[in-house]
Chain A
Amino acid sequence: MNRYLVIFFGAVATVTFAFLVLVGLPGVQLADVRAPAALKPYTESELAGRGLYTSLGCYYCHSQQVREPSFGSDSARGWGRASEFEDYLHDRPHLLGTMRTGPDLMNIGVRQPSRDWHYLHLFQPRAVAAYSLMPSFPSLFAVKDQAEMGDEIVNTPPGLIPEGKVLIATREARVLVDYLLAMQRDYDVRPAAGGVR
């Protein structure tokens, strides 16, 4: 080859074509899909929690997409029905994830509705699941001599914190758990255009 323009236009054409096929066409196909009525927009604190989830990089180990029964054991594990395009309409950034070093969290709010469980799990994952590889997040908590007005006390098993102290969930822990509890995609959904899949 001896012409720069051939390489230039060839390069532009291939990558643009790919963008139109992979992003443009599905965008047009699904442009009219509306969020299901049961899918509530995130509240302010849930959004703050989602921001923390993103900034701590939780999505590197937890997916938020349940595969169809023909494609895996996801539903049989109690992770919920297969996720659909419209389940994500409020999500920015998307947090679909690519790894399941930990379990899928698309419906963690359904599966694990206890705030106390989440606090304990975030403070020390191995206190509730001995096999867990998840990092502990002590920075989301404060250990105090006694609780003050408005503090949210976490019930801890003996030995987790020093005798006579109390474990307090900081605002960060509270909004993060608000977000996790909001992860409920258990409403019925009639998939767009008879199911995109």
Chain B
Amino acid sequence: MTGLPLVYEDTPPPEVAVSERVAADRSTREPVLLFFHSAIVWLVIGSVFGLIASLKFQFPDWLTSQAMWTFGRVRAAHLNAVAYGWASMALVGVTVWMVPRLVRAPLFQPLLAVASAVLWNLFVFLGIGAILAGWTDGLEWLEIPYPIDAVVAVAGGLMALSVLMTVANRKTKHFYVSVWYALAALVWFPIIFVTANLPIFSGVGQAAVNWWYGHNALGLWITALSLAAAYYLIPKVLGRPIRSYSLSLVGFWALAFFYSLNGIHHLIGGPVPTWLVTVSITASVMMFIPVAATAVNFHTTMIGRFGTLRHSPTLAFVVAGAMLYTAASVQGSIEALRTVNRVTHFTHYTVGHAHLGAYGFATMILFGAMYFIVPRLMNREWPLPGLIRWHFWLALSGIALYFVSLTIGGWLEGVYMLDAAKPFADVVNVTKPYLVARSVSGTLLLSAHLVFAYHYWLMVRGRGPQRAEPAWSDGRTAG
């Protein structure tokens, strides 16, 4: 790491920088590893739920004798395991690790963050148990009953206290871009989560709250923290600063303003005022601005350095994630247009889009971040770099097949549904081969996760070969 140009301002002398980073990593080791262990367990559990849900389209009479295994519960268990168990816990882990490095101060009271991880697990565990047992708030993304939500409110509060106090103890004058996103996300998530869980809404108004929350859980929480990670890792691994400070400012504020208004595009054609839908469609299209700003920043920082991808697992995953962010965002803007949404609404096309964002973008970036962070916390290199290659290609081919099959199948489903001459049986039948392909892709993704989980287990248990060089390294790249 020594000798690389630093990516943030307030640059201390290199030897000070190194010792500060070591101190920061020492302070975050326990909580970050606990968040990562947990996230990976939830990833595997969530993928199993996802695959069961998908297979139920091929075998609708499989696992039906008990209500707890019915599609409607397994699907919700999948979403909650991957959104709140995997993505949220992994992103919090990355944030807790990253912020002390960026503000040049060790983590404030690491035990707060450890307690947060423990409670967070309790929340996901109880939440999924409640869903499987049939106790639910009945709203997509908000299934977990609100008494259990109180657990994660405390968990989030403890973590936020630890991170914010770290920021208050900062030695830097300026905040790097990643810190903006992290700080804003720590403000946004509690606001949207608490508001949306208030038991005071009903009818169409509740649907509006539901999708204001649902879209912002992706936009202002998962996306914000994933972008924070990418903004840190791309320049860090490349050893060159991000292209433009001004562009990252535009990207940040435009995301804050436009993303938060997107939600009602989930109710296009529904029983809500036309002007309201138009506001959300307009904001969705305006998302081109922050997406373009971020894309130009990421991709021009990469230009001329693509050869590096072969020598850094971190960069391979993060750059794939950044590219799929651009793709998913552009697709999302187009999908919100009435003419397109008329076809795609209510179909599997939307599910394909959701996975392109949550998996292709956020999850790939998280994998990349873990490949960078864990060696620094464990003071050892990944033992079996070949497994990282398997992980990468299984994950990438899995999400590619997932996206392509549901995009085509969902589009056909939508076209058939619009044609009143086609009986509903045809609408269902046309999707069937694509749903088989989705189960195949789900199997690829689960395999990718098992490879990763095994390798991670070797890594943290100190098993496998001890290696001196970072994985895939040609001697110039770092992780």
Contacts and interface: CB of A to CB of B under 8 A. Distances in A.
A56 B73 CA distance: 6
Interface in B235-275: 249, 253, 256-257, 260-261, 263-264, 266-267, 269-274
Interface in A14-34: 14-19, 21-23, 25-27, 29-30
Contacts of A124: 61
Task: Pick the most buried of B135, B174, B191, B424: most chain A CB atoms within 10 A of its CB.
Answer: B424
B346 interface: yes
A99 B210 CA distance: 15
A137 B69 CA distance: 10
A183 to B, nearest CB: 15
A83 interface: yes
B257 A14 contact: yes
B269 A72 contact: yes
Interface string B407-423: 00000000001111000
A132 B66 CA distance: 20
A68 B276 contact: no
A54 B66 contact: no
Given A11-B184, A29-B273, A131-B428, A60 B71 contact: yes
Contacts of B210: 94
B420 A14 contact: no
Nearest to A52: B134
Contact of B428 (A77, A87, A89, A133): A133
A194 B76 CA distance: 38
B287 to A, nearest CB: 13
Interface stretch (A2-10, A113-121, A144-152, A160-168): A2-10
Nearest to A69: B420
Interface of A: 1-2, 4, 7-8, 10-12, 14-19, 21-23, 25-27, 29-30, 54-61, 63, 65, 67-68, 71-73, 76-77, 82-85, 87-103, 124-126, 129, 131-139, 196-197
A26 B174 CA distance: 40
A85 B427 CA distance: 28
B207 interface: yes
Interface string B174-203: 110000100110011001100100000111
Contact of A2 (B173, B188, B212): B173
Given A7-B183, A23-B209, A65 B270 contact: yes
Given A76-B420, A90-B203, 17 more contacts: A10-B253, A15-B191, A21-B279, A27-B205, A55-B135, A55-B138, A88-B204, A88-B271, A89-B203, A91-B203, A93-B139, A94-B204, A98-B345, A99-B348, A135-B60, A196-B272, A197-B273
B138 A93 contact: yes
Interface in B122-153: 134-140
Contacts of B417: 72-73, 100
B134 A55 contact: yes
Contacts of B56: 135
B425 A131 contact: yes
B64 A1 contact: no
Nearest to A1: B175
Contact of A92 (B192, B202, B273, B345): B202
Given A4-B167, A27-B205, A135-B60, A96 B253 contact: no
14 contacts: A7-B175, A7-B183, A17-B260, A22-B212, A55-B138, A60-B76, A65-B271, A71-B342, A77-B420, A85-B272, A92-B206, A133-B435, A139-B65, A196-B272
B192 A15 contact: yes
A67 B216 CA distance: 25
A135 B272 contact: no
Contact of B183 (A8, A14, A100): A8
A101 to B, nearest CB: 8
Nearest to B428: A131
A58 B140 CA distance: 12
Contacts of B72: 56-61, 135
Interface residue tally of chain B, by bracket? 35 or more
A59 B346 CA distance: 11
Contacts of A1: 174-175, 180, 249
B188 to A, nearest CB: 5
B184 A84 contact: no
Contacts of A68: 269
Given A11-B188, A15-B191, A56 B70 contact: yes
Interface string B5-38: 0000000000000000000000000000000000
A72 B342 contact: yes
The 6 closest A-B pairs by CB, nearest first: A57-B72, A18-B260, A76-B420, A73-B420, A93-B138, A92-B202
Interface string B38-62: 0000000000000000001100110
Interface-centre pick from A18, A55, A76, A94 (highest chain B CB count, 10 A): A18
A8 B279 CA distance: 25
Contacts of B356: none
Question: Which of A101, A126, A132: most chain B CB closer than 10 A?
Answer: A101
B363 interface: no
Contacts of A91: 202-203, 206
Contacts of A72: 269, 342, 417-418
B2 interface: no
Most B CB contacts (10 A, CB to CB) among A11, A55, A68, A76 go to A11
A136 B65 CA distance: 9
Nearest to B283: A18
B350 interface: yes
A11 B204 CA distance: 26
B67 interface: yes
Interface in B329-345: 342, 345
A57 B70 contact: yes
A105 B60 CA distance: 20
Contact of B205 (A26, A65, A99): A26
B262 to A, nearest CB: 9
B70 A135 contact: yes
